Structure 1
Amino acid sequence: MTQHLVLSFIGDDRPGLVERLSDTISRHHGNWLESRMAHLADKFAGILTLSVPLEHQQALVNALRNFEELGLHVTVELANLHDAKGSTLALSVVGNDRPGIVKEVSQVLHSLMVNVKELTTTCEPAPMSSDMLFKTEMVLVVPNDLPLSELETSLEKISSDLMVELSVKQFA
């Protein structure tokens, strides 16, 4: 029998962190399943899911705690697998950058009981000006009884400059 673990970590970025994590997980019979990692503001941060046989779980958790000595703060959480209820779709939003966009979008999603499964945001200069554009890509689970047109209309009401694109995709 196996246990799923979710790790989150952050520390000063330097070569070898991913190799060290993957080696530690492998040596303790863990299976690296899914991850997101990035260099953000001079730090290396990430989250990953793995499975590990129950008899090796505690040794792996103990080994991960030793990463503190390397300046990498690792948090380990037990996880269970749940099937998402609803339709999974992709959402792309682009608009002029300003404080509060993520709050506004997430408020609309919450009010409609839409669950955010993945969220990626960036800010970059607009192609024809120096104005900054905010872009977000999300994977959402939408209740089966929520018409997509209602979701799109609700998001577009946030601001006239937001471009909203919803697409139904098959996600693994």
Structure 2
Amino acid sequence: MTKQLVLTFIGEDKPGLVERLSEAVREHHGNWLESRMAHLADKFAGILTVSVPEEHEAGLISALQAFDQLGLNVIVESAKVVAEKGKIISLSVVGNDKPGIVKEVTQILHSLMINIKELSSTCEPAPMSSEMLFKADMVLHIPADLAFLDLEEALEGIGSDLMIELEESI
């Protein structure tokens, strides 16, 4: 039987960390399924899903815990695959940076029982000025009984200082 594990990690960024993680997974007969990794501030952080035969799970977990010696803190969680009903949509938010943008958007999403599957954001100088521009891209899972139009209307209430774009996935 195969188990799915979700690994989260953070540590000092240095060459070879991903190669060493992939080697540990391979050595324990695991399969690298999906991942998101980034250099943030002076740290290397990520999340990774692997499948591993049940008889090799303990060995893989032990090998991953040894990454502490390399300055990488790895946390391992068991995962189960669940089929979700509803739709997947994309949401993009762009506007002049100010405190509270993420709070405003996520508050509306929560009130509509929308689950955020992915979120990435950046702050960068606006092309024609020195003001900082906040950008966020999200992948959302919306309940089957929520109309796309209702979500659009709720997000319009945030204000005119943000550009919000929704796109239904096919």
Q: Same fold (TM over 0.5)?
A: yes
- The aligned counterpart of 1:20 is 20
| Number of residues of Structure 1 aligned to a counterpart in Structure 2 | 170
- The aligned counterpart of 2:46 is 46
Distance in 2 of aligned mates of 1:16 and 1:100: 37
Is the contact made by 1:156 and 1:162 (CA closer than 8 Å) also made in structure 2? Answer: no
State the secondary structure of the residue aligned to 1:95: strand
Q: CA RMSD in A?
A: 0.8
- The aligned counterpart of 1:73 is 73
How far has the Cα of 1:96 moved from its partner?
A: 1.1
1:141 aligns with 2:141: yes
Distance in 2 of aligned mates of 1:156 and 1:125: 25
Distance in 1 of aligned mates of 2:113 and 2:148: 13
Distance in 1 of aligned mates of 2:104 and 2:39: 26
- The aligned counterpart of 2:63 is 63
Q: Quick one: which amino acid aligns to residue 167 of structure 1?
A: E
Distance in 2 of aligned mates of 1:103 and 1:95: 14
1:20-50 Cα offsets, whole Å, 9 max, x none, are 0000000000000000000000100000000
**Which range moves more in the overlay, 160-169 or 59-68?**
160-169
Distance in 2 of aligned mates of 1:96 and 1:144: 33
Identity, % of aligned positions: 65
Distance in 2 of aligned mates of 1:94 and 1:156: 13
Q: Quick one: which amino acid aligns to residue 21 of structure 1?
A: L
Q: Quick one: which amino acid aligns to residue 121 of structure 2?
A: T
TM (norm. structure 1) is 0.96
Query: Unaligned 5+ residue runs, structure 1?
Result: none
Distance in 2 of aligned mates of 1:152 and 1:125: 28
Distance in 1 of aligned mates of 2:103 and 2:125: 21
Distance in 1 of aligned mates of 2:83 and 2:102: 26
Is the contact made by 1:156 and 1:163 (CA closer than 8 Å) also made in structure 2? Answer: no
Q: Quick one: which amino acid aligns to residue 7 of structure 1?
A: L
- The aligned counterpart of 1:109 is 109
Distance in 2 of aligned mates of 1:54 and 1:42: 35
Give every structure 1 segment of 4 or more consecutive aligned residues whose post-TM-superposition deviation is greater than 4 Å: none
State the secondary structure of the residue aligned to 2:116: strand
